[in-house]
Amino acid sequence: MTVLGAEHGEQPTLLVATPLEPELVERIRREAPGVEVLFDPELLPAPRYPSDHRGDTSFRRTPEQQGRLEDLVRRADVVLGVPGETAAGLRDLVAGAPRLRWVQGTAAGAGQMVREAALDADTLRRVTFTSSIGVHATQLAEWAVLGLLYFVKDVPRLLRDAEARSWPHYPVRELRAQRLVVVGLGHIGREVAHCARALGMHVTGVRRRPSESDLSYVDEVAVLADLPDVLERCEAVVLALPSTAATDGLFGAELLAAMPEGGVLVNVGRGATVDEPALVAALRSGHLCGAALDVVATEPLPPDSPLWDLDNVLLSPHTAALSTQENERIVDVLLDNLHRLAQGRALRNVVDTEHFY
């Protein structure tokens, strides 16, 4: 990455291009005094809820406002967020920012947006992209545990009994001592493992290239090639994978069949990593007890998707990561990276532009 300031003076210029609370903008100015911060909330859509980075989708800039935004973009060495939070917005941003050297994304999956933007090689060399990996780990791990408990404690049956005004007595399973496989041991996967072990589960972590340090988070570790054997010994799986050429469609009929009958699958990574027709078949046959999905292959989930009609599916509209504290944590990442930049250290959460995660 080109050192900011080397070409354009000593003070890098940061453009806040995402809806952000004014007090957080002031915090950036206060804690990074060597950075010029550009922020004009009139040029950004109003957030629909706390930590909404896309904002009101009906928002349209006037020609005068668009001109003002383009002027700010041309001045920026660093940008926080992407206007509209879309691949097209990212393409427009880098095309209109000749000084741009670094984009700090607001999403953990910022690499997917970079991939979809299909930027040319010169741009990928010129601009460094960093994600907000780690910001969403706590809330996603909590939702993963919710998904596991939802089916282990048979909440679908409780809902059916309530609708029928029925009051039967029956035993339910325990999460303690169950065997969980966490596929993907990034920030989210490690936090899932931490929560699961606290509940007494035995956790196997799976990743492309495990290391000895992984054993501080899980009871044992395996590589992706071991999945068929590992899955035979588990009661539940949590997917915390990015969408890449190597992971898209990874969980298909073969791996789902490898899971023991009555297993539970939770996906808090990316919907593209699961073969949905194969998952629906496994749920309908009863081979899987249930699936808790915060993500699906096509979002929003199409109205004709069979996933809507299965009572052994818990759906969340890709909102499990959202938190009222999210913007504060994203600013934490930004400030850490600004300080690293000033000290000549490597940035945190740099997107791999070969695999795009």
Q: How far apart are alpha carbons 220 and 222 in whole angstroms?
A: 7
CA dihedral 280, 307, 263, 192 (to 10 degrees): 130
| Calpha distance 186→348 (Å, rounded) | 13
Q: For 155-293, list the strands marked E by DSSP.
A: 179-183, 202-207, 220-223, 236-239, 263-267, 288-293
Place of tokens 């492309």: 208
Residues near 95 by beta carbon (within 8 Å), at least 6 away in sequence: none
- Tokens representing 95 are 């095309």
Q: Contact, 6 vs 79, CB < 8 A?
A: no
- State how far the alpha carbon of 174 is from the alpha carbons of 32, 159, 177, 187, 326, in Å: 49, 19, 8, 26, 32
Instruction: Find residue 180's DSSP bridge partners.
Output: 203, 236
- What does the alpha-carbon distance between residue 207 and residue 219 come to, in Å, rounded to a whole number? 14
CA distance 218 to 240: 14
Catalytic machinery residues: 270, 299, 318
Strand 236-239 vs strand 202-207: parallel, antiparallel, or unpaired? unpaired
Contact 102, 4 (CB under 8 A): yes
